[in-house]
Amino acid sequence: MIERKKYLNLLVDKKENGLVKVVTGIRRCGKSYLLFQIYYDYLLSVGVSADHIITLALDDVENIQYRNPIELGNYIRNQITDKKMYYVLLDEIQNVATIKNPYVQGGEDTIGFVDVLNGLLHKGNVDVYVTGSNSKMLSSDIATEFRGRGDEIRVNPLSFAEFYAAYEGDKRNAWKEYCMYGGMPYVLSLSSHEKKSRYLSDLFSRTYLSDVLERNKVNNPDILEDLLNVISSSIGSLTNPTKLSNTFKSVKNRAISPRTIDYYLNYLIDAFLISKAYRFDIKGKKYIGTPLKYYFTDIGLRNARLNFRQMEENHIMENIIFNELLIRGFNVDVGVVEYNYKDATGKSKKTQLEVDFVASLADKRYYIQSALFVGTEEKRLQETNSLNRIDDSFKKIVVVKDNIVPWHDEKGILYVGIEQFLLDESVMEL
C-alpha cells in the first residue's frame, strides 16, 4: 500500500465542510485509490459504518444507468435512510451526461452532475467527494460550475518521498529510478526497463494524448505531437508561443501561428501534462510576462515521450524540484534579478540574472537554485551570482545532486543535497 498522507490529511481537513470535494489530477496518478481505498479505510477507522459510505464508479459498465443525472440522484437519495452523516464517493464523475430537463417543455434547460451534487448538499447530512478526468470542468471552472460550492484537491504523481517509502529495491537506487521513470504509481509494480518504458509510452499516447485530441477536437494532431516533442526537449528553457512558432517555421518548415500554439499549450496544461512558471522581477516585485518556462507533471512521462533520450541530469533535477515545490503548496515562479554594471569601456549597461525558483507560501518565500555540483569556487560563485544580488532577508537555497551535509556559506546561503531536500521538508528551515 502506498501511503499518501498529504492528500489524506487534505481530505480529512475538508471533511464535512459543506462543499463538494473535487479530486483532480493527471489520469493514473492515484485519485481513485486515494478516495476508494485510503479515504474509505480512514472513514471506517473513525467509526463511520459501511452502510453510510455510498461509493459508485461511473466508468464501470455495471453502473452505466447512473450516467443519467436523474438516475444518479435518485440512486444516492434512496441510500439515505436516516439523519446520520452519509459520505458519497463518486469516481469519474465526468461520465455523467448532461441531458435536457424532461420536466420543462421547450427552452434549453438541462440537468447535469453539478445539479445533482449541489442538490445533495442541501440535505445537510451528505458529504460529497468526486474524482474525474475532464480537467477543464474539474480545474479552472470548478468555482463557476459548482457555483462556489466546489473545493479542489489536486493530486500529483508520487513525490520522491512517497516513491522512496514504497520502493522495495536498494534505496540507493531509488533516485536514479525516479529520475528515469518518474512517480506514476503503477510503475513501482513493474520489474524491467522494457515494461516500465512501454507502460509510460502507451499511457502517454493511448490515454493522455488521445484525451487531449478528443476533448479539444484537435484538427492537426501532428502539430500537437511535434509541440510535445519540442516542449519535452526543452524543459526549463525560456520560451513562448512566438518562439515556438518560429521553431516550427525554421525546423519543420511549417507556418503555425502563435495563437494556435498557445491554444495547444493550454490543452496540455488543462490535461495536467505540463505546468508553466512565470518570470518574476524580484527587485521590481512584478511579473514580467513572456517568455516563461514549461515543466512536465511527471518526469517519467517526459522521458518516455523522448524514448529515454536527452536524459540531461540538470534539467531533470530542475523539473523534479519544481514539482516538489508545487506539491508542498508553494506558488512557484522563475526569478529575475536585474542590475546595472559598466563594461570594459566604462559604459553603463543593464543585464538580468535568473533564479531558478521563487517559492512563495503566505508570508514565506524561498529563492532556490538547482545545481548539479558546486565543487569549485568558480562554479559556486556562478551558481550563487543571482542569489547574492537579492537584498531581502528571505532564505536562499542551492540544491545540488550529491549527498552532502547541509552547510551555509559566509552570506547565509544554504547548500543541501537533492535527496535530503526532497525527503525532509524541514531542511528548508535550516
Q: Please name every residue paired with 23 in a beta bridge, in sequence order, or none if there are none.
A: 131, 153
pTM: 0.94
Q: State percent of the chain over pLDDT 70.
A: 97
For residue 341, the model assigns a pLDDT of 81
Long-range contacts of 335-340 (CB under 8 A, 24+ apart): 335/279, 335/280, 335/282, 335/367, 335/386, 335/390, 336/279, 336/280, 336/281, 336/282, 336/288, 337/282, 337/283, 337/386, 337/389, 337/390, 338/281, 338/283, 338/284, 339/389
- Domain 5-154 is found in CATH 3.40.50.300: yes
182: left (phi over 0), alpha (psi -120 to 50) or beta: left
Positions of the chain with pLDDT lower than 70, given as ranges: 134-141, 143-144
Per DSSP, the three-state class of 300 is helix
What radius of gyration do the chain's Cα atoms show? 24
Please give the angle made by the CA atoms of 315, 336 and 330, to the nearest 5 degrees: 65
* The pLDDT of residue 346: 83
Phi, psi of 217 (to 5 degrees): 50, 50
The label of the residue with cell 501561428 reads: 257
Q: What is the pLDDT of residue 345?
A: 84
- DSSP-H helix ranges across 306-393: 313-327, 377-388
Q: Where are the beta strands (DSSP E) in 2-71?
A: 20-24, 53-57
List the end-to-end C-alpha distance of the chain, in Å, as a whole number.
32
Neighbours of 223 (CB within 10 A): 17
Neighbours of 149 (CB within 10 A): 16
For the chain, what are the domain ranges?
A: 5-154, 158-199+275-430
How many C-beta atoms surround the C-beta of residue 71 within 10 A? 15
| pLDDT value, residue 156 | 96
Q: How far is CA 134 from CA 22, 210, 214, 270, in A?
A: 11, 13, 11, 9
